[in-house]
Amino acid sequence: MGQILQFGINGLMSGAIYALIAVGIVSVFKATKVVNFAHGYLIMFGAYFYFTFAVLLPGMSWAPAWYVSWEPAWLVEMKEGLPMFSPLGAVLDWLTNLPRVIIGLIGALAANAVVGLIIERVLMRPLMGQSVFAMIMVTVGLISVMSGGAQLIWTADANYVPSLAPNTPIRFTLFDTQIFLFGTDLVNAVIAVLLFGAIVAMVQFTKGGVAIRATAEDQSTAYSMGISVPRVFARAWVLASLTGAIAGAILATRNGVSPSLGLFGFSVLAIVLMGGLDSYVGVFIAALVVGVLEAMTQWKFGGDWAGIVPYVAVLLVILVRPHGLFGQKEVERI
Partner 1 sequence: MKLNRRSFLATGAAATGVIGLPAIVKAQPKEYVVAQSLPMTGPFATAGQLVSPASKMFEAITNAEGGIGGVPIRVEVEDSGYVPQRALANYQRALATEDNLVMYFGDSTGFMKLVAPELKGKNATLMGSTSFATELANPEKNPYQYVAGPTYEDQFDILLQNIANEGGSTVAFIYSNTEFGRDPLAHGRQKAEELGIEVVLEESTKAEGADIPTHVTKLAQSNAEYCILQGYVTGVWPQLIGGARQLGLQTKFMGTFWGMEKLIADRVTAEAGPFLEGYLGVMPYRYSYDQEDAPRYRTYAAFQKEHFAGTPLENYMPTWGIEALCSMEIGLEALRRVANKGLELTADNAAEELAGIQDWDSGGFFGPNVSMVSNKIGTGRVYQYSTESGLFEPRSDWLSV
In the complex with partner 1, the residue whose CB is nearer, 173 or 220, is 173
Report in angstroms how near the CB of residue 99 gets to partner 1 at its nearest.
15
Q: What is the DSSP letter of 325?
A: S
Report in angstroms how near the CB of residue 74 gets to partner 1 at its nearest.
20
Amino acid at 107: G
Nearest to 151 by CA among 269, 240, 262: 262
Report in angstroms how near the CB of residue 155 gets to partner 1 at its nearest.
7
Give 172's strand partners. 179
Interacting residues toward partner 1 by CB under 8 A? 6-7, 10-11, 13-14, 55, 84-85, 90, 93, 147-148, 151, 155-163, 167-169, 180-182, 185, 251, 254-256, 258-261, 263-264, 294-295, 298-299, 302-304, 306-307
In the complex with partner 1, the residue whose CB is nearer, 170 or 194, is 170
Exposure letters 275-298 (e unless 16+ CB within 10 A, then b): bbbbbbebbbbbbbbbbbbbbbbb
In the complex with partner 1, the residue whose CB is nearer, 115 or 250, is 250
In the complex with partner 1, the residue whose CB is nearer, 206 or 301, is 301
Report in angstroms how near the CB of residue 180 gets to partner 1 at its nearest.
5
In the complex with partner 1, the residue whose CB is nearer, 101 or 277, is 101
From residue 83, alpha-carbon distances to 79, 80, 87, 88, 91 in Å are 9, 9, 9, 9, 13
Q: Furthest-apart CA pair in the chain: how many Å?
A: 77
Cα separation, 282 vs 274, in Å, equals: 8
Report in angstroms how near the CB of residue 253 gets to partner 1 at its nearest.
9
In the complex with partner 1, the residue whose CB is nearer, 44 or 199, is 44
Q: Is the dihedral of CA 50, 51, 55, 59 positive or negative?
A: negative
- How many residues in the chain? 334
Report in angstroms how near the CB of residue 334 gets to partner 1 at its nearest.
44
